[in-house]
Amino acid sequence: MASETEFIRSWIRSHQRTPSGSRDFKEATKRDALARLEVELERLLSTLPEPKRPVVEKEFKGFKNLFSRFLAEQGPSVTWEKIQKLPEGAVIDYSTLSTPTTDNIHHMLDKLVVVKLNGGLGTSMGCKGPKSVIQVRNELTFLDLTVQQIEHLNKTYKCNVPLVLMNSFNTDEDTQKVIRKYKGLKLDIHTFNQSCHPRINRESLLPVPKNVDVHNDIEAWYPPGHGDFYESFNNSGLLQKFIKEGRTYCFISNIDNLGATVDLNILSLLLNPDQKSAEFVMEVTDKTRADVKGGTLIQYEDKLRLLEIAQVPKEHVDDFKSVSQFKFFNTNNLWAKLDAIQRVVEQGSLNMEIIVNNKSLADGLNVIQLETAVGAAMKCFEGGIGVNVPRSRFLPVKKTSDLLLVMSNLYSLSHGSLVMSPQRMFPSTPLVKLGDNHFAKVKEFLNRFATIPDLIELDHLTVSGDVTFGRGVSLKGTVIIIANHGDRIDIPSGALLENKIVSGNLRILDH
């Protein structure tokens, strides 16, 4: 058995064509791996009480499908030479969209559901619990801001746009406690959980968990990426409920993208009776050198689809990163037609590319988790289009450097939405790099700023080492502050640094 497993592993690694003599053996070993996985999943199911089985059975069915596709994959899913030029009209420029009339907006919003992907934890920024409860501005969290935005929409246009949160087993319990505080607001909040899949031992290709008590062995399980949205939304019953209510589209975005507000111009485009209905819209924005790894839109086999860096053959990675060859990247703000989601799920025609994520558990065990991305489903829908939106619709907070921007005077807050200051002379945000050793965790980061500096005229900021900022500091142009190991730099209150390099022993040099 061990040698068969080793064979499967080396086959998966190599992705090379094999002589026909060994093809039958390879097929047999793949069948064997799948058969052993099925036996293990059955055993796991048997550890559950009868009433809980149907839900987990559905999730395991999705997992088994992912696993068998993973075994069958033959290398990069894109043949580089088959990528076609984007056809005319495939990506619509946002500036060409018309603004709907006020009397029409109420009816349009009655057709909409807002979905936020809320499965992530704040651990990468040193926070416990869901990322959505990190405070980002004026003591308000990502979730607070989202709720404010939609409540304002509902009040302004006398409508009832529901907010749907896709949680994971990591975030559900804490999120349920938090949303109780919104009870009195004019807003319906629904939640559902994405699937919970077993991690796979990289050596044996068998599931890691011994039973289905997830919270007792949380390391053995994982949420399989946001591509799981479609199946889980359908399984939750919410999809059918909204279709029955006469709603037609959902707007999906990451909870940590503060630019992802409901856009009436895009909604108007989708609901325009004179236009052939698009089942799927991906908001893309212009690539800068900071975004070279972001997924891009391509035409492939006569359909628009998302191309991620992981799918690119190694020899073409530089082409993929080229700003001139691939001008746009995916913001993960997506609009999808509800009945089309139901159709592709029921037909079983969702075949998003599999992302293989290698991890090591605390005990040193090497595991793999199989994931998919929500935007990769684009090719499964009819009439997909891209809309090239302003950069302001992409404002993710992944690191404390992003947090610095959204907490600063670059933005003001209006009904839960961040608005760029009119004093900023150009629409792009500054490029900020804060050293991981001293700034990566939110608590540490906040302790290093007496107040957030004035960034209105900042182009680029790099900070490395043990650096603190006093009150009322202004940063302009390009500012680089580097404290050498063992040194500490305190930027005094009221300091103005414009095109300056500050190094080791607080020498300030013109840049």
Unique residue bearing structure tokens 């994520």: 357
How far, in Å, CA of 272 to CA of 106, rounded? 14
Which letter, b or e, does each residue of 248-282 get, where b requires 16 or more Cβ atoms within 10 Å of its Cβ?
bbbbbbbbbbbbbbbbbebbbbbbeeeeeebbbbb
Q: Is residue 416 a known part of a binding site?
A: no
337 is in an annotated binding site: no
Distance CA 481, CA 436 (A): 14
3-state helix, strand, coil in the chain (%, to 5): 40, 25, 35
Amino acid at 170: N
Ligand-binding annotation for 443, yes or no, is no
Q: Kindly report the three-state secondary structure assignment for every residue of 244-311.
A: HCCCCEEEEEECCECCCCCCHHHHHHHHCCCCCCCCEEEEEEECCHHHCCCCEEEEECCEEEEECHHH
Residue 256, annotated ligand binder? yes
Cβ pair 235, 194 in contact under 8 A = no
List, by residue number, the catalytic residues.
Answer: 398
Residue with the two structure tokens 């004093």: 423
In the sheet with 296-300, reading across from the earlier edge strand, the strands are 83-84, 296-300, 303-307
Helix ranges (H only) for 119-210 are 142-157, 172-179
Residue 295 known to bind ligand:
no
Has 15 been labeled as part of a binding site? no
Parallel, antiparallel or unpaired: strands 280-286 and 385-388: parallel
CA distance 292 to 290: 6
Residue 88 DSSP SS3: coil
Tokens linked to 431: 């490029």
d(CA 123, CA 465): 22
Task: Kindly give the pairing relationship between strand 474-482 and strand 488-491.
Answer: unpaired
**Which segments are annotated as binding site?**
131, 194, 225-226, 256, 398
**Which segments are annotated as binding site for UTP?**
131, 194, 225, 256, 398
**Which segments are annotated as binding site for substrate?**
226
